[in-house]
Chain A
Amino acid sequence: MDKIPILKVGKCLLVTIQIDMHDRLAMALQDDLTNAIVTSRAKGVLIDVSALEIVDSFIGRMLSNIASASRVLDAVTIVVGMRPHVAITLVELGVQLSGIQTARNVDKGLETISRLIEQSESTDAYGDD
């Protein structure tokens, strides 16, 4: 079965979805990713969907679930490079992905995510005082 690679870059995990996802692949990704966050102690997850052309409500839900799970595991999720038609489809399906940050491309995404990680670390530090 196909697998979506999960790469560690600095403090965050980079997931690039290169193929159109079917439901089983999406479930596998969700499992792998939550495991990877725990084992690698990552602080952020960056999902690149620039090659994703077809989405359905299930994939939308999956993205949303990944974000919620990551937040529980103390990692921020950011989705980058969504295509216009994918965005329109998700909105029409009523999937708002409200807990997820977004960015235009991987470059911007990494910038934003490192800023967010810094922010959360500094608030944690204040919390310790």
Chain B
Amino acid sequence: MPANFDALANAIEQSEKDLLSRWIAALTAVGATRSGQTSDKDLKDACGRFLKELRRALQNGASEDIASEQWQDARDVLEEISAARALRGYSPVETALFVFSLKEPLFDLLRQTLAREKHMADVLVASGALLDRLGLFTTEVYQKSREEVIKRQQDELLELSTPVIQLWDKILALPLIGTLDSARTQIVMENLLQTIVDAGAEIAIIDITGVPAVDTLVAQHLIKTVAAARLMGADCIISGIRPQIAQTIVHLGLDLQVVSKATMADALSLALKKTGQKVERLAARG
């Protein structure tokens, strides 16, 4: 196998520039620049660096195992390129094509330089297998980068999703927006209970205007939150139940075991009454 790679390395070294320009032409032909999203200069730079690392790895006697030490630099370059493409919204196919489109120009080159050699077929097969591995590696890195993006967005969503508002003296509001799953409810519940302690609140208004759907699981979470708040000596009021959700709750046969009001305003006026407070209009001035 190393003998095949030596031939490959020599072939690349002899006509690196020619190979590079034909590779870029092939990439441009399959639309790898994505109508100017990656500039020609960046593309040329990326291709040049990868080709150089590929040649160096082969010259250092690298085996076909691309996880080995000799491939470290080449892997770094590929990782960088795939990660950048994942962030820019390239598809997996477009990312994998970066390596796969090298095949055609490389095989052409090998056919020319090894035309009279007996082992040309062996070299071609070995090179093909190598490029396949490198191509799959880019897809793997691409996938990982995308997963990181998704994970980060999830974390950001969790941070955004749980504001507890001090609405009035001893009255808290918790406007819930989006679907409630177990992880989110846990954070919402902890936040609410901690704020009840910190603010010495007596009433918490849970507003579900922004919750798109209520199923048994969401209802279960709401009931748990209400029960926990009650254990701490705070009452809960649920507001903003939309007509469809009210119907769903009845269909599911759920009992929320809590006072509910149509709007946050109604809930606030009830809360004010319960805490013995009053808001009055000032006498007309002038």
Contacts and interface: CB of A to CB of B under 8 A. Distances in A.
Given A87-B228, A91-B228, A96-B227, A82 B190 contact: no
Interface in A67-117: 79-88, 90-92, 96-97, 102-105, 108-109
Contacts of A92: 224
B233 A108 contact: yes
A104 B200 CA distance: 7
Contacts of A85: 190
Interface stretch (B18-26, B191-199, B258-266): B191-199
Interface in B203-225: 224
Contact of B233 (A90, A91, A96, A103): A103
Contact of B190 (A79, A80, A84, A86): A84
B229 interface: yes
Binding site secondary structure of chain B: helix
Contact of A104 (B194, B224, B234): B234
Nearest to B189: A88
Contacts of B234: 104
A117 to B, nearest CB: 18
Interface residues of B, number: 18
Q: Which one of A81, A84, A92, A108 has the greatest number of beta carbons of chain B within 10 Å?
A: A84
B229 A87 contact: yes
A79 B234 CA distance: 12
A112 B190 CA distance: 26
B150 to A, nearest CB: 28
A30 B229 CA distance: 25
A13 B53 CA distance: 81
B174 to A, nearest CB: 14
Contacts of B228: 84, 87-88, 90-91
A84 B230 contact: no
| Interchain residue pairs A-B with the least CB separation, the first 9 | A84-B193, A102-B233, A87-B228, A103-B233, A104-B233, A87-B231, A91-B228, A82-B232, A91-B227
